[in-house]
Structure 1
Amino acid sequence: MMLRSLSSDFLKIRRKGIWFLIFLAPIGLIVMQALNYGLRFDWMMKEHASDPWGGLLENISVFVPIALYLGCTLISSLVANVEHQVSSLKQLLALPISRTAVFSAKFLLCFLLLCVSCVLLSAATVILGVSFGFKPGSIPFPDLARLGFYPLLAVLPLLALQLWLSLAYRNQALPVSLGVTISIISPFTMNLSEWFPLNWPMFGLFGPHREWFVAAGLVVGAVILLIGLVHFNRKDVD
């Protein structure tokens, strides 16, 4: 039942601009680093002479959490707004399909869309590095996989919260404002404890205990998702 709902959701987001955002985020990060290296290539290569691939990944990874926070916010809002715009959510829930399947399918849709964006980022990073003359034989595939997916798994609590709020409120001002605010302040929270939730995506990339922050994201994300699901099941839909 959830897969049928997921298939329907994929059809609904056609021509809604969501796929444009999915491609825009990784391409934007890569273009930014292309300019960064292009303007001071010699200095960057000297700075990271011992590990050029590692230097490139480090420069890209700084902006990944911000991009993910914005991505969770905008994608959740746009997915929910597809239903709110035409008041189709009430009609959907009148069909012989459980609310749990509807909510779960929309969360899975948002997660899969972000996965596509993360895969594109890793692939585009390889293309950028090779175009700079980095050795293809030394491509750090495990680090590229971590770049794409560790921060995403660590940011699942925000994705669950944003989808919950976006479906609960027809007016998207609250969830969007919250997500944008989190994105803006996230670079300034690094001085706080590493266990502060906004720091999880970054510490999921760096440090000796990366898997701990990924696990924390999975657990807390599951809890928030469950709370949102219970609320969605009990809430009257306009």
Structure 2
Amino acid sequence: MTGRALSSDWLKIRGKGIWFLVFLAPLGLTAMQALNFGLRLDYLKEQYADNLWGGLLGNVVVFVPLSLMLGATILSSMIANVEHEQGSWKQLLAMPIPRPAVYLAKFLLACVLLVISCLLLTAGIVGLGLILGFHASEIPWTHAIKLGLLPLAGALPVLSLELWLTMVNKNQALPVTLGIVLAITGMFSLSISPSFPLAWAQMAWNGPNPYLYAGMGAGLGLLILLLGMMHFSRKDVA
């Protein structure tokens, strides 16, 4: 059932600008670092002489949690708006597909799109490093692939919450505003506490035990997902 709903959602997002957003974030972060390293290449090569690739990844990952939370907010709103704008919720929910399957399909769609965006970021940063003259034999593939994926796991609570709010509210102003506030707060969350959920996306990369924070983010995200699914299953959606 979920697979059928997911296949339908893939078709619905065509021409909605969602793919533009998926490509925009990694291209923007890559372009930002191209400018950063392009203007200060000699200085940065000297500063990161012992680990050029690590320096490049470190400069990128600072902006990844913010990008992920904003991306989760906007993607959730755009995915939910496909149904809200067309007024097709009643028609969709009248089909022989359980409501939890409909909800789960939209969550999986958002996750897949964010994973694609993270992998595009990895490809873009690796390509940038090669253009800058970094040695291909020294590419830290494991860290490069984790660049977006571990922070994404830490940011899953925001994705689950935003999907919940955008799915059950036709007016997207409040969910989107809340998502922006959460993303900005997440930038300063380490000053509150590493245990603060909005800090987990950062801790999933540079914390003492990144997998712990990634797991905590995934766990809380799944819990919020289940709560949202239960609410959606019982709520009348216009």
TM-score (norm 1): 0.98
How far apart are 1:61 and its partner, in Å?
0.2
Is 1:231 matched up with 2:234?
A: no
Aligned position for 2:153: 153
Partner Cα distance (1:38, 1:178) in 2: 36
Which is worse superposed, 189-198 or 48-57? Answer: 189-198
Matched with 2:118 is 118
Q: Which amino acid is 2:29 matched to?
A: L
The sequence identity of aligned pairs, in percent, is: 52
Counterpart amino acid of residue 16 in structure 1: K
- Aligned-partner Cα distance in 1 for 2:73–2:95: 28
Letter of the structure 2 residue corresponding to residue 48 of structure 1? Y
Does 2:205 align with 1:205?
Answer: yes
Which residue of structure 1 lines up, in the alignment, with residue 55 of structure 2? Answer: 55
Indicate the residue corresponding to 1:94 in structure 2: 94
3-state SS of 1:102 partner: helix
The 3-state SS of whatever aligns with 2:207 is: coil
1:23-62 equivalences in 2 (<5 Å): 23-62=23-62
Q: Could you tell me how far apart the structure 2 residues matched to 1:187 and 1:91 are?
A: 40
Specify the SS of the correspondent of 2:142: helix
- Give the residue type in structure 2 aligned to 1:86: Q
- Separation in 1, partners of 2:38, 2:234: 54
Q: Deviations over 1:24-44 (max 9, x none)?
A: 000000000000011111111
Pairing of 1:108-187 with structure 2 (within 5 A) = 108-187=108-187
Please state how far the C-alpha of 1:127 moved relative to its aligned partner: 0.2
Question: Which 4+ residue blocks in structure 1 deviate beyond 4 angstroms?
Answer: none
Provide the C-alpha distance between the structure 2 equivalents of 1:184 and 1:197, rounded to a whole number of angstroms.
13
User: Which deviations, in whole Å up to 9, do the C-alpha atoms of 1:20-66 show, x marking residues without a partner?
Assistant: 00000000000000000111111111110100000000000000000
Aligned counterpart, 1:220: 220
* Alpha-carbon displacement from aligned partner over 1:124-170 (angstroms, at most 9, x marks no partner): 11100000000000000110121121001111111111000000100
Aligned length: 238
Alpha-carbon shift at residue 185 of structure 1 (Å): 2.4
Cα deviation, 1:167-222, whole Å, max 9, x if unaligned, reads 01000001100011112222222212101111101110013211110110111011
Deviates more, 1:110-119 or 1:36-45: 36-45
Q: TM-score, normalized by length of structure 2? A: 0.98
Q: One-letter code of the match for 1:114?
A: L
User: Any stretches of 5+ residues in structure 2 without a counterpart?
Assistant: none
Aligned equivalents of 1:186 and 1:221: distance in 2? 16
Gaps of 5+ in 1: none
2:71 aligns with 71
Code of the aligned partner of 2:14 = R
Moved more, 24-33 or 147-156: 147-156
Note the aligned Cα RMSD (angstroms): 0.7
For 1:208 and 1:183, how far apart are their aligned partners in 2? 22
Residues in 2 aligned to 1:182 and 1:44: alpha-carbon distance in whole angstroms:
32
Classify the secondary structure of the residue corresponding to 1:204.
helix
